[in-house]
Amino acid sequence: MVDEVLEVQEYLQGKNINPKCLYRICYMLVKWYKQQGLSHLEIREAIFNWGKTNNIYIHCNVNNIIYQAINDKNRLRENVIVRINNNDIQEIIKRFDSRNCKLLALSLLCLAKCSADRDGEFNVSLLALSNWTKIDYSNISKRYLPELIDFGYVSKQENKRVFSWDKNVKSKSVSLKIMLPFSNSGTYILKNNDIHELYDEIFT
């Protein structure tokens, strides 16, 4: 999720495909094909060919995804270096005991460091976050994220929820804000989007 080009390359290779995240996957693929200069129709054909190759039934409204992705002027993130420092680590240890809470806090911090705006806010799909961290979606939304909020690590920007265009898509992005000062510095580096490897390097 941090290096989006790397994420897309995995989807193109048939890796890490979670049907629950199909809307986001298609959205990311459209952005990739757009950057390759494909037309609307060529993108549509490429998406369905990808689905056929990987035995994925695409139930989303693909044309709506194409319109939304093409209107997104941001390019896919690539070659992003996210660093974690000792202060980041101590703030997480100060607040949380369980592996999943610490892993979620670390994951959100990495996303904030690469995508937060000048106010420190960033959008994240909880389904995509679940797929990345391998933490159950329901546990993130009902247990771990509330714990991160209660202990002052992150806040939810209630008036800035970002919904998909497709009414059949259950997932939505939420706008979050890390409640501590942070900078992209430190000796620990997220490599190849492998958040579990980074976690183990820091906390075990």
pLDDT tens across 109-156, in order? 999 999 999 889 999 999 999 999 999 999 999 999 999 999 999 999
> Does 185 share its domain with 95?
yes
If asked whether residues 87 and 66 sit together in one domain, one would say no
Amino acid sitting at position 38: L
Last residue of a domain, one of 71, 95, 111: 71
Together in a domain, 46 and 99: no
Q: Is 117 in the same domain as 165?
A: yes
pLDDT higher than 60, residue 2: yes
* 78 domain residue, yes or no: no
pLDDT-above-90 percentage for the chain: 86
| Residue 173: predicted pLDDT | 81
Is residue 20 assigned to a domain?
A: yes
Query: What is the CA angle 155-156-160, rounded to 5?
Result: 140
Is a pLDDT exceeding 70 seen at residue 182?
yes
Q: Look at residue 10 and tell me whether its pLDDT is greater than 70.
A: yes
Q: Give me the pLDDT at residue 159, please.
A: 57
104/187 same-domain check:
yes
CB–CB of 141/126 below 8 Å?
Answer: yes
Percentage of the chain exceeding pLDDT 70: 93
Q: Which of 2-6, 45-49, 118-122, 178-182 has the lowest mean pLDDT?
A: 118-122
Residue 105 is assigned to a structural domain of this protein: yes
Q: What is the mean pLDDT of residues 2-15?
A: 96
Find, among 84, 100, 49, 107, the residue nearest to 185 by Cα: 84
Q: Are residues 183 and 111 in the same domain?
A: yes
The pTM for the full model equals: 0.90
**Domain check: are 32 and 114 in the same one?**
no
Q: Quote the pLDDT of residue 158.
A: 73
Q: Are residues 103 and 189 in the same domain?
A: yes
Most confident of 42-51, 149-158, 164-173: 42-51
Q: How far is CA 177 from CA 28, 36, 106, 121, in A?
A: 23, 33, 13, 5
Residue 147 lies in a domain: yes
How many structural domains does the chain have?
A: 2
Q: Average pLDDT, stretch 163-178? A: 65
Please tell me whether residues 107 and 184 are part of one structural domain.
yes
Residue 170 in this model has a pLDDT that exceeds 50: no
CB atoms < 10 A from the CB of 66, how many? 21
Whether 14 is in a domain gets the answer yes
Are 30 and 89 contained in the same domain? no
Do 115 and 192 belong together in one domain? yes
Question: Using one digit for the tens of pLDDT, what is the confidence trace for 61-103?
Answer: 999 999 999 999 899 999 999 999 999 999 999 999 999 999 9
Residues 96 and 148 in one domain: yes
Secondary-structure breakdown of the chain: helix, strand, coil percentages, each rounded to the nearest 5: 55, 10, 35
Whether the predicted pLDDT of 166 surpasses 80: no
Domain limits for position 119: 83-203
Q: What angle do CA 124, 130, 131 make, to 5 degrees?
A: 105
What would the two tokens of residue 180 be? 């501590």
Domain end marker among 42, 71, 100: 71
- Evaluate whether residue 76 is within a structural domain: no
Note the pLDDT of residue 61.
94
Last residue of a domain, one of 38, 71, 104: 71
